[in-house]
Amino acid sequence: MTPLHRIEERLHALTFRQAAILVVAANLLLVALAFLLPPDGAERGPAILSILGNFHILALHIPAAVLLIVPMFEFFERHEQATATVRRLSVFSAAGTWGAVLCGILHAHFNGFAGEAIELHLWGGIGAAAFAGLASLLLSQSFTVRLASQVVAIGVMSFAAHIGGEIVHEEGFPFKPNKVASPRPDKVVIDVAPGAKRDDYAQVIAPILEAHCVECHGAKKVKGKLRMDTLEALKKGGSEGAAFVAGDLQKSLMHVRVTLDPSDEEFMPTEGNPLTKDQVQAFALFIEGKPIPDDVAKAALAATKAPKQAPKK
Ligand code: HEC
């Protein structure tokens, strides 16, 4: 007898009550974890857990496929009693969904994901695990009850998966044609009439932040609880304080973090190229409330990396 057979025998020996307690307890554990390790941009707990989180995207495909297969067997076989195959697949899909959600909670927590879409994805995933568990509890019910519970589990899973797809890609995915990335402009045009005052935040600072920082400090990911996609957010700052304090370079963490030694753990950005001398200078002048000279602005903007996607129209 293999260990898998032994597990199956044990599960088979459970009364309905015992099985129900197991399913409820497993799902309550997910709910508790979602509160202990919430997706809010801060990191708690041992970082080694993040390795398990890295398996979320791999892990979720298995139960998604198996959940779909169970009602197919049911439908074509049409047995009043669930067959051994249906039982195995159904229990496996419930356990797999639970595991994928566990990895997902860790993945979101340790990668700075935050925001409404993530919350929806998280609770959708927990719902999918709960309904897949329910479907496996109803295996001794009639054909119709089993099929209905399996279809509901698929519905909830599809909803969670769709939100997940929108998080990775963008809203409206997959029913939207892909944008073709626009070629990077050769010349950076700073569009200001001669003599008029340039809006340094909107025209120089924001595009640099957008290209180098917002990927980790924006609406989807808020590492260090810091968003950098508006001036308000820079002033509000993150868990360590304001990123922008007018007139004070030493207190403005958006300056402090980019001027450390690049080998420093706190150096920003943590990935990708460091900011250029001109970009750092543009930040400093902006914080000090001084106008950014044209040559600095142009050189700073020319060094921003090309956006991954064409900007939204
Ligand atoms: C690849 C992801 C990534 C990118 C890109 C990135 N950061 Fe960060 N940032 C982090 C992480 C992770 C933290 C939290 C750990 C820490 O405080 O070092 C953080 C924290 C910070 C903090 C401290 C927030 C607080 O109050 O705790 C500041 C300030 C900051 N980043 C500025 C920047 C700036 C400026 C850029 C762009 C030049 C940038 N970051 C780009 C990952 C990133």
Helix, strand, coil percent content, the chain, rounded in steps of 5: 60, 5, 40
Identify whether residues 12 and 70 lie together within a single domain: yes
Residue 63 in any domain: the answer is yes
Tell me if 271 CB under 6 Å of ligand 1: yes
Confirm whether 285 is domain-assigned: yes
Same-domain status, 215 and 82:
no
Band of the pLDDT at 169, cuts 50, 70, 90?
Answer: confident
Indicate whether this model's pTM tops 0.85: no
- 7 C-alpha to ligand 1 centroid (Å): 46
> Measured between alpha carbons, how far is 245 from 253 in angstroms, rounded to an integer?
8
pLDDT tens for each residue of 229-269: 999 999 999 999 999 999 999 999 999 999 999 999 999 99
Residue 309 in any domain: the answer is no
CA separation for the pair 205, 292 (Å, rounded): 10
From 209, 226, 240, mutation site for ligand 1 pocket: most ligand atoms within 8 A of C-beta: 226
The answer to whether residues 190 and 297 touch, using CB atoms and an 8 Å cutoff, is yes
Query: Residue 46 pLDDT > 60, yes or no?
Result: yes
Answer yes or no: do 155 and 209 share one domain. no
Range of the domain at 208: 200-302
Residues ≥6 apart with Cβ < 8 Å to 211 = 304, 305, 307
Looking at residues 61-84, what average pLDDT do you find? 94
Co-location of 69 and 152 in the same domain:
yes
- In a domain? residue 173: no
Scan for tokens 């032994």, then name that residue.
6
The verdict on 18 and 134 lying in the same domain is: yes
CB 80 within 8 Å of CB 142: yes
Whether the pLDDT of residue 310 is over 80: the answer is no
* pLDDT digit string, tens, across residues 2-33: 999 999 999 999 999 999 999 999 999 999 99
Which token pair is 189? 């045009």
Q: Are 72 and 136 spatial neighbours (Cβ–Cβ below 8 Å)?
A: no
Name the more confident of 182 and 287: 287
Is the model's pLDDT at 194 over the cut of 80?
Answer: no
Please tell me whether residues 148 and 13 are part of one structural domain. Answer: yes
- My answer on whether omega of the bond before 177 falls inside 30° of 0, hence cis, is no
Q: Is 270 a pocket residue for ligand 1 (Cβ < 6 Å)?
A: yes
Confirm or reject: Cβ of 226 under 6 Å from ligand 1: yes
- Domain end, chosen from 145, 168, 191, is at 168
Does residue 149 sit in the same domain as residue 284? no
> For residue 136, what are the CA distances in angstroms to 80, 82, 88, 148?
16, 10, 9, 12
Number of domains in the chain: 2
Residue 310 lies in a domain: no
Q: Is 182 within the bounds of a domain?
A: no
Indicate whether 162 and 226 sit together in one domain: no
Ligand 1 centroid distance, CA of 252 (Å): 13
Are 117 and 55 contained in the same domain?
yes
Q: Give yes or no: residues 113 and 221 share one domain.
A: no
